[in-house]
Amino acid sequence: MYIVAIGWLYVTVLMALTETSVIGGILTLLFYGLLPLALLLWLFGGPGRRRRAARKNPESTRDADADPPDR
């Protein structure tokens, strides 16, 4: 998926370079490139974040009825 992100940034940087003004180029890079890409990476990174959180805290994923504590 990172190759898609790199390709998208490449295209938007070239689009920004062809703008007639500096402000237009910055806005193009920001609104066509960085913000949508950040949203895409955040949305598709959700399952990985959940897996890392579950691996970090394994007792929260265990079913309470399956393994009662010793008394």
Assess if residue 65 is contained within a domain: no
Contact present, 16 and 25 (Cβ < 8 Å) = yes
Question: How many CB atoms lie under 10 A from the CB of residue 12?
Answer: 19
DSSP state letter for 58:
G
Q: Is residue 64 part of a domain?
A: no
Cα atoms in the Cβ-side hemisphere of radius 13 Å centred on 31: 6
User: What are the φ and ψ backbone dihedral angles of 9, each rounded to 5 degrees?
Assistant: -65, -40
Residue 49 included in any domain: no
Report the pLDDT averaged over residues 56-64.
Answer: 64
Asked whether residue 58 is assigned to any structural domain, the reply reads: no
Higher pLDDT, 67 or 36: 36
Residue 35 forms part of a structural domain: yes
pLDDT tens digits for range 9-52: 999 999 999 999 999 999 999 999 999 999 998 898 888 888 88
3-state SS assignment for residue 66? coil
Q: Domain count of the chain?
A: 1
Q: What is the pLDDT of residue 54?
A: 84
Q: Which of 47, 52, 15, 7 is nearest to 31 (CA)?
A: 15
For 32, the domain range is 1-42
